[in-house]
Each structure stands twice: as C-alpha cells, then as structure tokens.
Structure 1
C-alpha cells in the first residue's frame, strides 16, 4: 500500500451548525458534540495505525480546535501545523450569521437553495463553491500535494466546502457530483495516492 497518505477531516459540529446558521468565515466555537466528534476522529485514526508528519488547517478556530483535539487523542501534539486562509470555509457573504429559515423568508426558498446548492452562483457578497475551489485548489497543488508525493503523511482539518474543493479533484467529480458529496462533521476520509497524484484507495470513516 502507498506511503503517500492524505487524510481530510471536516471540523466537529460548531455552535452555529447547531443553531442552523450560515457560518462561512465567522468564527464560532465547537459544541460539546463537536469536541466529542473531534476526539472520536483522533481515536479512529489511531486505531487505523496512522501517524502524521505535518498538518494543515484553516484560519478559523473550529478547524484548528478540531485538529488540536485529534492530535491530542493520537498523542501527536508536537507536529508542525500550517494555518492558511486558503483552507477557510466558503464565504457566505450577506448570509453569514443568518438562520437558514430566516434567509428563506427574506430571499425565498428557491433563491437560497440556488445559493447553497449551485456550483457557480454566489450569495450576495460571498463565494460560490467554484470560487472556493479557485482559492483552495491552487494551495493544495502548491503546498499540500508535493508533501504527500514526497511520502510525508499529511492531515488536513478544514471545512465542508474547502475540503470539497480538494475532493472534487481527488475523486474526479463533476460540479454536479461535488455538490451532492456529503462530508460528516468529524469523520476522517483517508486517501492513499499513486505517484502520479491519482487516488490508489479511499476509506471514509463516517458513521
């Protein structure tokens, strides 16, 4: 099996996930459930016999805290951690901080659905998933992928949409396919890559 290991983990449940709010670049804490999800992810990765050389995360504390808890459970607290805005969640612009039901009441259910589920239509003042891909993917290609291909074991703790940007390429999904790709909070996805950066194997540890 390949030593080219890449593990992606969406942060644990945040306070705004719980309250059904659009979060984006806002910075709420993890809920107690989110803390448990992160710790469980660390236990699962340890049970798989995995260890890491370097970690990447976003500038947002829900992802950083998730990473810290995972590494604590694995006994790998001293690994180098690289934080970058390129891995931040999709920016929801004017929707940020709004309850999703309130947003539907203001703009209409169909319009909010388009903003949430279309690939290239951004909400007012925010990013589409296409915009998020344009931000996150070059960072992956320049900073993360070369390390994996050198044989470093890499853990990325980030967000649903910034991770979708990477998964779109890894799993060769279409824009329609990536919009349907669900990522559970705190559930690691383990990739082994071939020397040409294609996926040799994938294991999703979702419940």
Structure 2
C-alpha cells in the first residue's frame, strides 16, 4: 500500500518566454502557459488521479496554473493553501534581466553557478523594498527577509513546510498536489530523494509536467515518475 504526492511546476510565464530571471517578480502566465496548465489537468484526469488538498506559492503563475488544473479534474472545491515558502527562489539583482545579456556581461560559467549551484547566491537586490512592502509578505521578519537566495536558502524554507504541514497530511492518507516553481520544487526533490549537492545542479523541473511521488508507510520515496 502506498500514498501519493503530485508536484507540478507552473506553466510558461511571460518572462519565461522573454528569457528573463523572474524570482519573486509576480508575472502572469503566457497563453502557452495556460494551455500547458489545462493539459496537465487533462493528464491527471486521464490517469484518474485526484486530490484532497493542494499547496501553492504566493505568485500568480503558480496559483493560476493550480486553478486550471483543479478545473480540469473538477476539484476546484478542495482546500488550497498558499505560502511564500513555496515561492521561486529570490534571484536578487538578476530579477527582470535577460539571461543571455547577463551571460554576456558576467560569463556563462558565472551565470550557470548563480542558476544551478546549491550554495551560491546571485547578487543581492539593493532596492528590495518593493517586496518588503508587499502585504503578502508581512509575516516575514524584516531581518530574515531575503534580498537574494541560493537553492540552499530555498530548501531551508521548503523543508519545514514539508515536515510540519504536508508530510503529516500524507501520513493521514491525504492525496496532496503541490503547484510551485522550478527551484522550490528542486529543493523539495533534493530533500525527498536525498540528492547530493553536485547532482541537484543537473535536475531540471519542466513546466506543467505532473511528477508523481509514491511513498511507503514511513513516507520514504519508493517511486518517482512523470505522467
């Protein structure tokens, strides 16, 4: 007997199409992103996968992806919990910049470290007040407010959410859906699968592709696969 978790990265956003670093910038899904989200829902419906509860971030590209998925599987009524702990990693001063242009300025190797390494942070965002004044982040203590994050930093906010809220629900046999972001889901995958710091740099989470985790009774991973 196993219990199941499904994770989905949001559909393609407008800034994904423009090849920009997004981070905490709250950009919408593109038309393609909405199509991808609907397709993800149709795949879940075809496989008769349903849910008791869902989690997502404070960012609309993830929230709207979740809405489309739940509409497709006719589960719009289930409880949905939104939390900044599932936000994309804060990309600091890189947010809003074109990735190709940043590579030309700093070099591809440096940009690759900022994007894929576990411990290295991008340059800090000096004008971070736009996020600090956002009411959705009122619960974050000012001294703890990020102005840039590594994947390690992202993991430190994702894992407590997993341990304190999501894992206990799965233990009670709730079927859980998480719709979030490339890096917050990479952080969760690292924890669930005990992926090394070196190997996590190679893991990519594609947009709007449902990933299924199956667990044993101790909530240890026994299988992971794409639908």
Provide TM-score, normalisation by structure 2.
Answer: 0.87
Poorly superposed stretches of 4+, deviation over 3 Å: none
Q: What SS does the aligned partner of 1:202 have? A: strand
Question: Would you say 1:137 and 2:154 are equivalent positions?
Answer: no
Alignment partners' CA distance in 2, 1:195 and 1:41: 27
Q: Give the CA RMSD over aligned residues.
A: 1.0
Q: Which runs of 5+ in 2 are unaligned?
A: 125-147
Alignment partners' CA distance in 2, 1:193 and 1:33: 32
| Alpha-carbon displacement from aligned partner over 1:153-198 (angstroms, at most 9, x marks no partner) | 0000000000111111222211111111111100010111112121
Match of 1:161 in 2: 183
Provide TM-score, normalisation by structure 1.
Answer: 0.95
Q: What SS does the aligned partner of 2:166 have? A: helix
Alignment partners' CA distance in 1, 2:62 and 2:79: 15
Q: Which runs of 5+ in 1 are unaligned?
A: none
- Note the C-alpha offset of 1:108: 2.7
Q: What SS does the aligned partner of 1:200 have? A: strand
- Note the C-alpha offset of 1:106: 2.9
Match of 2:69 in 1: 70
The one of 173, 176, 194 equivalent to 2:216 is 194
Alignment partners' CA distance in 2, 1:130 and 1:22: 18
Aligned residues: 204
Q: What SS does the aligned partner of 1:113 have? A: helix
Alignment partners' CA distance in 2, 1:5 and 1:192: 5
Match of 1:106 in 2: 105
- Note the C-alpha offset of 1:102: 1.7
